[in-house]
Structure 1
């Protein structure tokens, strides 16, 4: 193979095909696009061969593979729609267009119509550019950041991007996105700012430090972070039918910043400021409910958590009273009802999806989490795919899909989604965390032990030693080594006996102990390493206590493991 034929990494492959990185990852996984993985772990580097990609693209004319985007053309100019010869479909689109035009005049149209804002709003961002202040940063970084931001917003088309030197005249707000980049010690600091050019008010600003040795990844990460917050802020604000003062939008942008970074009480704080200024703003009240969701998730006192969830439900109900099609309120209310009432949670997610799906695909992601908890992994995978199809820039949905695929024995398909999650995340150690937490599922014990040796992996010494011993025991045939590893894992403080400890104990055959630790986390039951716990005599009682048995009976469904011959004993109870 000659060097000119090889394309190293997803970015090079995406550039060659003229598509987004997340798009080509999906093609590799779902459409058979030929890629090769460099040996050395599940999340290693990939490469492709130009001639193989051209052959794959050529294919049969009726094969629905996309054509490679020609150089110098926009995505719309080069798109090959192989079904365009079908007159019936064209006629159908004409009917659809008529329906679209009718729906856009109503205030409760589907999610994509939020791109048509009422008076006093704008869904266009003017990209002023990011200025590198350190002389050793690449000269082309400014252009690369602009290109990445434009591509990130264009993934779903909700927010428009303009590189015009100055906004057009008018009365609607003119949102200007810019920033600066410079080195601080071993890091690259990026300060991003969104301002209203008409008033000069800074609506949102954020400072993030990226690893200094990952300068080539910084433009893409800036784009992901900025587009996530701006998309949340402007699309949510566009549901309000009144003009928004800068102070209002600034608080809503701060809410979005905290929401997407899981700010907990800070999320709730800014959401409350929003509804204090606009008590008739439905999406402001759903923001308050979302804040209560995050606060409840970190509350260890069960009685206090129940009170917090009740307050959150009141906020979501107020949002729905103002707009019964507020899908954000419907989806997040599912996190606030009784955690063991799986029927109620499922009903809310289904209503959210039917109402008007969010541009982030969040309701699909949340529904996937619930389906995974009740053991319906195949159905969960479909929801995770739907979430990624709506917004491929969210690492959480990529990671959830990867883990679900791994749990269903499709580890060969999981790799690209692990890669995408690592690529999108701000966590510089996510690759090591995945290697450490997934090693017992993938069988790559060596990669897990290598990750545990790395001092940059944020973990206590006693946890590091116990997990390292556990992986060493999995690779050993010595029963004494396995016994000692189990003892080390079980001797860890309760607050350090997390998911990895439970699944590692399951992989080591300590099923009773693994079930005891994982007892309040039903999503762990269905991991490959935990299959032994399903045969434990105590499992049916725990499943009943968690509401799983009731859910399966009332919904007339079964966990995937019970759809196979010779399922675990508890399957006879359904």
Structure 2
């Protein structure tokens, strides 16, 4: 809906005849479903001509503009003061297809609606992130309770029924203060028209909350998300497993995103999914691929997505992650993150990555401010809790790191990197027993890995258990001969053992391999034994962190 006092869409073309639903929708900057609903329920002036064998419609721009202007003034209640942002949560749409195999589709529709709504009016509408919204799958909680927990004024929920090539979606918007149903609608289309359904729902939300949708962005976003049903299925399956963030799930996601691109090389989200997956596969916390190998594929994929959709916020955020994690290009990373968050301030993952980027530069206060905004959007996310704990750990505030890390572990005990972080926090606090228990939990989830061996060996070295630390180092050296361990891992163990020359020798090899753990040189406590050596300042300069 337009703001009061703004000119009606298409005013310059007043008097022109529009001879199809498509032309009428284009003139009003809305979807066909929305203008058909307006005609049926709100008196949009559309005329019908009956022919011998079929009927057709037409409208005039003069009548449409007059109707729209009247509607704009009549339907502009002040929901919130100008300048404030309305907070909305999209709850998981229920899968009514009769098969759990279709959960990926209902979850995917939920996630795409979150993204779609967040991009339309980011200055006026704040949308709760996926991770928090998904906590309410199959919930029996009252909408008032959900509103209080998430801090939202409205929730959008519904159901999805998929049968053959047809899709039936019901959606309803509810006010959380009193449980009032603002509206409820049913949309039935071919699978090829799923974006039409998402667009119509977004427009109905915008109308209900007196938000003028940004037409150019609205149209561009919808166009960029069009694809075939087969490609969309592969993409949604990829996101479904990617969100689990386990090594096996990431490998499955990779296959789905590769298949997405094979089916539709022009589908921008497929490339972002591919880039996101390679970014995590190369991240030191997983260590599945060498960083240089992961970056070599992830970066072109992110850039391809941006060429296909220059307004794709998530692609900018992915590029920002690649900039700092693998390329140590700190200024470029900030530029990418700021653009991402300008396009979609509700993208919690982008805010989380940006916060870590700031923390790695030693900008702890800025990082905490940014992660606080991520928390505001994703209030129930264990991943955000983990990031908060990590930022406090990097700032040497171990007590707060422990507090947030424990909460992240309670909410998601299967998220392995939380255990490795808590182990390090306990180790630096001198809690040997607790540290070893967390290392054990990490090993049970990931198996005996180079990452686990590395930090356990560092712990033994700090505890004065030199023999056990050297055993860990020997195991890493053995693995390194078959590319099963990285030079940065050897470097931090040498540093913990006080072998400074050995640490710098491995650090040099880590630099040559572009090991991503070097992005953590400035603030990671495991590098502390090297800080007084002049060679360390030189290495900081080489990774852009002097």
What's the TM-score bracket when you normalise by the shorter of the two chains?
0.5 to 0.7
CA distance, structure 2, for counterparts of residue 105 and residue 163 of structure 1: 18
2:524 to 520, 527, 540: 527
Q: Is contact 2:423-2:436 (8 Å) kept?
A: yes
2:399 to 412, 429, 432: 412
1:312 to 296, 301, 305: 301
Stretch deviating more after TM superposition (338-347 or 494-503): 494-503
Partner of 2:335: 347
Q: Is contact 1:440-1:529 (8 Å) kept?
A: no
CA distance, structure 1, for counterparts of residue 382 and residue 82 of structure 2: 37
Matched, 1:110 2:122: yes
CA distance, structure 2, for counterparts of residue 413 and residue 299 of structure 1: 30
Q: CA deviation at 1:384?
A: 2.2
Partner of 1:174: 169
Q: CA deviation at 1:526?
A: 1.5
2:408 to 418, 421, 438: 421
CA distance, structure 2, for counterparts of residue 128 and residue 92 of structure 1: 28
Q: Over aligned residue pairs, what C-alpha RMSD do you find?
A: 5.2
Partner of 2:321: 335
Partner of 1:539: 536
Q: Is contact 2:159-2:170 (8 Å) kept?
A: no
Q: CA deviation at 1:428?
A: 7.3
Secondary structure of the structure 1 residue equivalent to 2:83? helix
After superposition, the Cα gap between the structure-2 partners of 1:160 and 1:426, relative to the gap in structure 1 and judged at 3 Å, is: farther
Deviations 1:508-553 (CA, angstroms, capped at 9, x unpaired):
544454555565423154133532312123213322332334xxxx
CA distance, structure 1, for counterparts of residue 121 and residue 358 of structure 2: 28
Secondary structure of the structure 1 residue equivalent to 2:157? strand
Q: Is contact 1:503-1:530 (8 Å) kept?
A: yes
CA distance, structure 1, for counterparts of residue 416 and residue 290 of structure 2: 30
Partner of 1:387: 374
Stretch deviating more after TM superposition (384-393 or 460-469): 460-469
Q: Is contact 2:453-2:472 (8 Å) kept?
A: no
CA distance, structure 1, for counterparts of residue 416 and residue 500 of structure 2: 30
Q: CA deviation at 1:385?
A: 2.2
Secondary structure of the structure 2 residue equivalent to 1:255? helix
CA distance, structure 2, for counterparts of residue 341 and residue 106 of structure 1: 28
Matched, 1:161 2:143: no
Matched, 1:377 2:364: yes
Normalising by structure 1, we get a TM-score of 0.51
After superposition, the Cα gap between the structure-2 partners of 1:468 and 1:333, relative to the gap in structure 1 and judged at 3 Å, is: closer
CA distance, structure 2, for counterparts of residue 330 and residue 246 of structure 1: 26
Q: CA deviation at 1:387?
A: 1.7
Deviations 1:477-534 (CA, angstroms, capped at 9, x unpaired):
xxxx54x355334323234579887656545544454555565423154133532312
Judging by fraction of residues, say which structure has more helix.
2
After superposition, the Cα gap between the structure-2 partners of 1:460 and 1:237, relative to the gap in structure 1 and judged at 3 Å, is: farther
CA distance, structure 2, for counterparts of residue 336 and residue 430 of structure 1: 19
Q: CA deviation at 1:348?
A: 0.7
Normalising by structure 2, we get a TM-score of 0.53
Secondary structure of the structure 2 residue equivalent to 1:350? helix
Q: CA deviation at 1:352?
A: 1.2
Matched residue count: 368
Q: Is contact 1:115-1:159 (8 Å) kept?
A: no
Deviations 1:53-97 (CA, angstroms, capped at 9, x unpaired):
xxxxxxxxxxxxxxxxxxxxxxxxxxxxxxxxxxxxxx9953337
CA distance, structure 2, for counterparts of residue 336 and residue 473 of structure 1: 32
1:445 to 422, 425, 432: 432
Q: Is contact 1:440-1:504 (8 Å) kept?
A: no
CA distance, structure 2, for counterparts of residue 451 and residue 105 of structure 1: 40
Matched, 1:251 2:218: no
After superposition, the Cα gap between the structure-2 partners of 1:509 and 1:526, relative to the gap in structure 1 and judged at 3 Å, is: farther
Deviations 1:339-366 (CA, angstroms, capped at 9, x unpaired):
122221121111112222244x111111
Q: For structure 1, which runs of at least 5 residues remain unmatched after alignment?
A: 1-90, 117-123, 130-144, 177-195, 202-235, 550-574
Specify the structure having the higher radius of gyration (Cα): 2
After superposition, the Cα gap between the structure-2 partners of 1:466 and 1:248, relative to the gap in structure 1 and judged at 3 Å, is: closer
Q: Is contact 2:118-2:126 (8 Å) kept?
A: no
Secondary structure of the structure 2 residue equivalent to 1:312? helix
Matched, 1:240 2:229: no
Q: CA deviation at 1:402?
A: 0.8
Secondary structure of the structure 2 residue equivalent to 1:362? helix
Partner of 1:326: 312
CA distance, structure 2, for counterparts of residue 289 and residue 462 of structure 1: 24
CA distance, structure 2, for counterparts of residue 461 and residue 253 of structure 1: 30
Matched, 1:460 2:448: yes
Q: CA deviation at 1:431?
A: 6.8
